[in-house]
Amino acid sequence: MTPAVNYKILPSGDFYCYSHDSSFGYSQPKNGMTYFARGDERLVRKLKIYVYVFNKDNPKEVKDELLNATKALFKSAFNQEMPREISLGVSNGKPNTWKFESYNIELKKDLWHDKNGYEYNFIVRDPSFIRE
C-alpha cells in the first residue's frame, strides 16, 4: 500500500490525507489509484480507494488491482480478512453497499462525462461520519 504523504487540516477541523497516485498496467495511458483517509486527531472515520481507468482494454486487470487494494485496506483497517461477500462484490466490479460491524462499506462506479474512462471508489465509512 502506498503510504499517505500529503495531509491537510480542513476548515471543519478534520484531518485529510492521501497518497501519491500509483499507476498499473502495461498499456498507455496507464490506469492508477490513490488512497484517502479522513477523520480527526484520534480516529480515521472514512477510508477510500479511488481507482481511475483510462485504458479500458483489460477490465480483469483493473478488477484484480481493485480487489488487491481493497483487501489490503480492509486488513489494515480491521486486522482481519475481508469477508467473502464483499470480496466477491468487488471482484465483480458492480456497485454495492455492505455493512461490516458498524461500518458502511460501498463500491461505486462512475463513467466519466467525456466517456474516455471510468472510476471505482471503494469507501469504508464510520456511521457517525456524514460529512463529505
| Inter-residue contact 70 to 50 (CB < 8 Å) | no
Give the end-to-end CA distance of the chain in Å, rounded to a whole number: 23
Residue 34, amino acid = T
pTM of this structure:
0.85
C-alpha cell, 17: 490525507
| Inter-residue contact 93 to 86 (CB < 8 Å) | no
CA atoms 32, 21, 127, 77: torsion sign: positive
Mean pLDDT over the full length of the chain: 86
Distances (CA, A) of 132 to 3, 7, 16, 57: 22, 16, 11, 32
Cell numbers 490525507: residue: 17
pLDDT in tens, the chain (132 residues): 444 556 677 777 778 788 878 888 777 788 999 998 888 877 888 999 999 998 888 888 899 999 999 999 999 999 999 999 999 999 999 999 999 999 999 999 999 988 888 999 999 999 877 655
- Phi, psi (rounded to 5 degrees) for 126: -65, 135
Q: What is the pLDDT of residue 2?
A: 47
d(CA 120, CA 109) in angstroms, rounded, equals 5
Q: What is the pLDDT of residues 9-42, one digit of tens each?
A: 777 777 878 887 888 877 778 899 999 888 887 7
Q: What is the pLDDT of residue 108?
A: 96
d(CA 81, CA 122) in angstroms, rounded, equals 16
Q: What is the pLDDT of residue 1?
A: 45
